[in-house]
């Protein structure tokens, strides 16, 4: 078994063990949630954040966390126009910092929660040997569409574009690129057959519901700038105390462990 194969196997095993712990659940709520926190979150967090919030509910059954997912740039644009969110979890720390500089978010609540990673991902039924060929699989004549998030507003799209250029294949494949609004949509393009291969977040490739649907190759971390993911509480948050509890939990050990199981790096790693 090669080094990359070992990485994949270890990641999947650790994730499975972690999910077994999460599935144990917690005591049933004695009363319905009375407080609500609205979260705008980057699409790469979809599966990991669901597991994190399961843990959070065990500690804070009185708080209901409602999440809307999208590309970080699109969510930022909504927040600029006063979208009613309390907490913003971005895949690019640039956006939360802009909100702080614009007076729309609280500087003291700014935080980093993870670093992201990207992979080349194909359907399980695909004959493309992505795990062995790596970036060279993109040059296969049978590859007609390569999906990636739109780099204009999606941090994972910018990382994908940088990786293609760093790996020396961008000019040869740019005419075959198709863009999704966010990295989760890219996975849908590949899964549905709209695209033959995609560049997605490792966190999506490792999600239990995705593992049987695809196979992937780790894009070397040195091929793209660090994906620095962080968040901030909005100045107009209706229940700042509840938002602070969610923020604090995201930086605590249980949440960090879940993020690592989904392939996220520790901040600054």
**Model confidence pLDDT, tens digit, residues 123-138:** 999 999 999 999 999 9
Question: Is residue 216 located within the same domain as residue 127?
Answer: yes
| pLDDT value for 2 | 54
**Residues 109, 235: one domain?**
yes
Which stretches in the chain have pLDDT values below 70?
A: 1-25, 27-33
Count of domains observed in the chain? 2
Task: Please tell me the distance from the alpha carbon of residue 7 to that of residue 9, in angstroms, as a whole number.
Answer: 6
pLDDT at site 31: 60
Q: What is the dihedral of CA 65, 71, 72, 75, to 10 degrees?
A: -60
Distance (Å, whole) CA 269 – CA 266: 5
145: which residues sit within 8 A by CB, 6+ positions away? Answer: 176, 178, 189, 194, 195, 196, 197
Same domain? 142 vs 75: no
Angle between helix 94-101 and 72-80 (nearest 10): 10
* Cβ-proximal residues to 117 (8 Å cutoff; 6+ apart), any chain: 201, 202, 203, 218, 219, 221, 227, 263, 264, 265
Is residue 77 domain-resident? yes
Distance separating alpha carbons of residues 95 and 99, to the nearest angstrom: 6
Q: Render 101-144 in DSSP notation, one character per residue.
A: HTTSB-GGG-EEEEEE-EEEEEETT----HHHHGGGGGG-TT--
* Cα dihedral 66, 70, 76, 80 sign: negative
Tokens of 110: 């700014």
25 and 90, same domain (yes or no): yes
Q: Residue 145 in contact with residue 176, Cβ under 8 Å?
A: yes
User: Based on the domain organization, do 22 and 108 belong to the same domain?
Assistant: yes
For residue range 178-217, list pLDDT tens digits in order: 999 999 999 999 999 999 999 999 999 999 999 999 999 9
Containing structural domain, residue 238: 3-115+227-261
3-state secondary structure of 73: helix
Q: Would you say residue 204 lies in a domain?
A: yes
Give the pLDDT confidence score for residue 268 in this predicted structure.
80
Residues 236 and 151 in one domain: no
Question: Model's pTM, two decimal places?
Answer: 0.88
Structure tokens at 243: 């938002």
Same domain membership, residue 193 and residue 216 = yes
- Report yes or no on 266 lying in a domain: no
């Amino acid at each position: 078994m090669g080094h990359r194969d070992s990485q994949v196997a270890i990641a999947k095993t650790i994730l499975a063990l972690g999910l077994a712990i999460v599935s144990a659940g917690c005591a049933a709520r004695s009363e319905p949630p009375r407080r609500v926190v609205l979260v705008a979150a980057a699409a790469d967090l979809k599966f990991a954040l669901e597991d994190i919030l399961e843990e959070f509910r065990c500690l804070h059954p009185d708080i209901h966390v409602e999440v809307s997912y999208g590309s970080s740039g699109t969510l930022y644009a909504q927040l600029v126009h006063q979208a009613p969110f309390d907490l913003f979890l971005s895949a690019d720390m640039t956006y939360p910092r802009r909100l702080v500089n614009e007076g729309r978010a609280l500087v003291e609540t700014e935080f980093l929660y993870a670093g992201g990673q990207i992979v080349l991902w194909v359907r399980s039924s695909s004959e493309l040997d992505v795990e062995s060929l790596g970036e060279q699989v993109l040059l296969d004549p049978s590859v007609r569409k390569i999906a990636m998030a739109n780099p204009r507003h999606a941090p994972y799209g910018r990382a994908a574009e940088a990786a293609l250029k760093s790996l020396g294949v961008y000019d040869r494949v740019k005419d075959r690129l198709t863009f999704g609004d966010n990295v989760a949509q890219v996975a849908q393009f590949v899964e549905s057959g709209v695209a033959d291969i995609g560049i997605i977040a490792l966190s999506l490739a490792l999600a239990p519901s995705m593992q049987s649907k695809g196979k992937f190759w780790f894009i070397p971390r040195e091929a793209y700038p660090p994906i620095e993911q962080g968040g901030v509480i909005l100045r107009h948050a209706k229940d700042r105390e509840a938002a602070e509890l969610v923020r604090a939990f995201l930086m605590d050990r249980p949440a960090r462990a879940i993020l690592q199981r989904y392939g996220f790096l520790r901040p600054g790693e």
